[in-house]
Amino acid sequence: MREEKTGKKIAIVVTSVLMVRFFLVPHLTKLAESHDVTLLLKNDEPEILAGMNLPVRILLVPIERKIDLWQDLAGLLALFSVFRRERFDMVHTLTPKAGLLGIVAAWLARVPVRLHTFQGEIWANRKGFMRWLLRTLDKLVARLATDLNVVSHSERQHLIDEGIIAAGKSRVLAQGSIGGVDLARFRPDAQGRQAVRAELDIADDDIVYLYLGRLNADKGLPELGEAFTQLAARRPDVRLLVVGLDEEGMVALLEQRCAACRERIIFRPYTPTPETMMLAADVLVLPSHREGFGVVIIEAGAVGVPAIASNIYGITDALEDQVTGLLFEVGNPADLLRQMAALADDPEARARLGGQARARVQRDFDHRVVVAAFVRHHDELLARRVQRK
């Protein structure tokens, strides 16, 4: 039997189990200490969801990540039905589709506090009608929400400049990111590094570039493949480690584009312990076309691994150019190659940037600070509602 809480009823809506697994477990655990928390999501990874043992009620709803008119209508009606029945004090949505369906349903059900977190815009690299449509839908979410969070200062400014959100209605918690970094998990470990590299058959003097995340074209995998192939032709000591869920046939694409150096690429599927893969790496590479923040950059930084990443909003909050890593022109494989070669040629720079990256994460992104800000923000919004009664 669930313990009765003295706080308010809060619904957290996301599209994916992996979103919860990677980012929200400490938030939900801490929030549930004082409030009655319900998590609504599509159970696309049942074994992962079961293994998290979350101290919250879980309701399954048909929220699809991709646009599908009839499926989306079914998801909207399902959420509206739950919100009317449960009479939540707050609905907090994360991820774009959960935001659209969840905030509209919460507005229709007259939920008093409707909070949405922006964490990267799908329309950022779209053109034509789809860009207009997706921007319009984000404007709708911003208009119907009572409050807005954004995961980075540069993303917030971009959304303000684009006319999507109002400055006075939005805020960034702590120094940004969704949940910060658990410094007890993500830390340097010389023995762990040796063990992981031995398991992956990586030589001690090999230089390992790591990509870790969802495998799709928006993440810049085609450019990474092109840049790595050219770098591998120059240097026999470089390896590429690609870790994540393949959403768009990226493994086959990389195998084709990198045929000349295929034996130097290691593919691994989704892992619940990304910190182990980071231990094997010398440089993280995130060539993404759009990001709200780029949490993987600060996770790698906590391990002492510098990053090379696209010079776009969101990422520029996670990476300080020439301080914790290097930025390159988004979508430009030649510029990516230039930065990858620069760090391959300079082990002292890798060590310096990695050390500075870890120091910055310790200072600004300790997950305890970020989670505390998350819970405090929810308490403040709910208290404001009580005062208005």
Query: How is residue 374 annotated by DSSP?
Result: H
Q: What are phi and psi of 210, to 5 degrees?
A: -115, 130
pLDDT above 80 (res 5): no
Rounded to two decimals, what is the model's pTM?
Answer: 0.89
What are the tens digits of pLDDT across the range 288-341? 999 999 999 999 999 999 999 999 999 999 999 999 999 999 999 999 999 999
pLDDT band, very low/low/confident/very high, at 2 (cuts 50, 70, 90): very low
| Model confidence pLDDT, tens digit, residues 72-131 | 899 999 999 999 999 999 999 998 899 999 999 999 999 999 999 998 888 887 889 989
C-alpha dihedral (301, 302, 305, 306), degrees to nearest 10: 20
- Domains of the chain and CATH, by start: 9-180+367-388 (3.40.50.2000), 190-364 (3.40.50.2000)
Burial class (CB in 10 A: 0-12, 13-18, 19+), 1: exposed
| Single-letter amino acid, residue 287 | P
Q: What is the pLDDT of residues 192-236, one digit of tens each?
A: 999 999 999 999 999 999 999 999 999 999 999 999 999 999 999
What pLDDT is stored for residue 368 in this prediction?
94
Helix (H) or strand (E) holding 96: helix 96-108
Instruction: Supply the pLDDT for residue 136.
Output: 94
For residues 253-269, average pLDDT = 94
Please tell me the distance from the alpha carbon of residue 321 to that of residue 305, in angstroms, as a whole number: 14
Long-range contacts, 123-128 (Cβ 8 Å, 24+): 124/289, 124/290, 124/312, 125/218, 125/289, 125/290
Can you tell me the distance from the alpha carbon of 207 to that of 239, in angstroms, rounded to the nearest whole number? Answer: 6
- 154 three-state secondary structure: helix
Which residue shows structure tokens 């998350």? Answer: 374
